Amino acid sequence: MIGALTHSGRGTTTGPQARAMLFWASLITLCLCFIPNPYYDVILWPIRLFVTIIHESGHAICTVISGGTVKYLQIHPNGEGVTWGASPEWAQWLVISGGYLGTTLFGALLLQVARLSGHKVTLTMIGGYIAAVTLLWANNPVDNLFTLVAGLTLSVLFFIAAQKLSAKAAGFLVAFVAVQCCLNAIGDLRILLYLTTAAPGQDNDAVFMSQHYPMPPTFWAGLWAVSAVVILSISLWSYLRATGSASRIRA
């Protein structure tokens, strides 16, 4: 376990450093929430696009897993996104839930992958994932040029970060991206809960879910929010427990 957390060649920090990076990433994320618009949207625009790609890829992957087909995935400059495809009726709960819960699960898994494989390896894997999603489902430059450019640009930036950043900087970036994925998903679910009551006619994932299953949109938004909190809590508990154990062994 000591070697897994201190091998500098893979860009991995020690247990205390990993916990510190997660703390600072969470604190900075919290501080960013107090930046007023439009400055907040400008500063976090790349992160917003990244999270949207992860969200839409969750829909796409669940579509494929259920035996369906994905026509294309698209993100827009304002951070919104859409995935078009066809999937069996029985799998609608999986496909529709794959957006918000998939984003939370992605962020939660990042912490575990980084702990086991190293932060630089994790950054490389993120870059490879974004590139694969973009080339598979956003490969029409005529109708989907922005998605193609944004996805490939983000993947290249992650590849560069994996090669150029120090172990500590890589650790912070992985922690920051993981926190952003989880908290953005939970924050979006909070907005979704509001929309299901204040703007019930507006299209969103919860409304789509209620069209297939006999429960109101608020129920589905609330269920996803609770599930996201549980997923994040389990991942944080596992991560902090593992890094804390490594610190005691190292001491």
CA distance 249 to 94: 41
Residues 225 and 194 sit within 8 Å (Cβ to Cβ): no
Q: Give the orientation angle of helix 45-65 with respect to helix 119-137, to 10 degrees.
A: 70
**pLDDT-based confidence at 9, cuts 50/70/90?**
very low
Q: For residue 85, report the phi and psi dihedrals to the nearest 5 degrees.
A: -170, -175
Structural domain count of the chain: 1
Range picked from 84-98, 136-150, 211-225 for highest mean pLDDT:
84-98
Q: Find, among 232, 229, 202, 196, the residue nearest to 215 by Cα.
A: 196
Range picked from 86-90, 201-205, 235-239 for highest mean pLDDT:
86-90
Range picked from 3-7, 185-189, 193-197 for highest mean pLDDT:
185-189
**pLDDT-based confidence at 189, cuts 50/70/90?**
confident
Average pLDDT over residues 19-26: 84
* Amino acid symbol at 204: N
pLDDT of 20 reads 83
pLDDT of 247 reads 47
With a cut of 90, say whether residue 36 has pLDDT above it.
Answer: no
Q: Find, among 89, 90, 88, 94, the residue nearest to 59 by Cα.
A: 94
Range of the structural domain that residue 193 is part of: 2-250
**pLDDT-based confidence at 71, cuts 50/70/90?**
very high
Where on the phi/psi map is residue 67: left (φ > 0), alpha (ψ -120 to 50), or beta?
left
Q: Find, among 225, 228, 231, the residue nearest to 206 by Cα.
A: 225
With a cut of 50, say whether residue 249 has pLDDT above it.
Answer: no
36: which DSSP letter? P
The helix or strand, by DSSP H or E, that contains position 241, with its residue range, turns out to be helix 217-250
pTM recorded for the entire structure: 0.84
pLDDT of 24 reads 85
Percent of the chain with pLDDT over 70: 87
The 3-class secondary structure across 62-113, one letter per residue, is HHHHCCCEEEEEEECCCCCEEEEEECCHHHHHHHHHCCHHHHHHHHHHHHHH
What are 147-186's pLDDT values in tens digits? Answer: 999 999 999 999 999 999 998 899 899 989 998 888 777 7
Residues 165 and 120 sit within 8 Å (Cβ to Cβ): yes
What are 97-149's pLDDT values in tens digits? Answer: 999 899 999 999 998 888 888 889 999 999 999 999 999 999 877 778 999 99
pLDDT of 240 reads 83
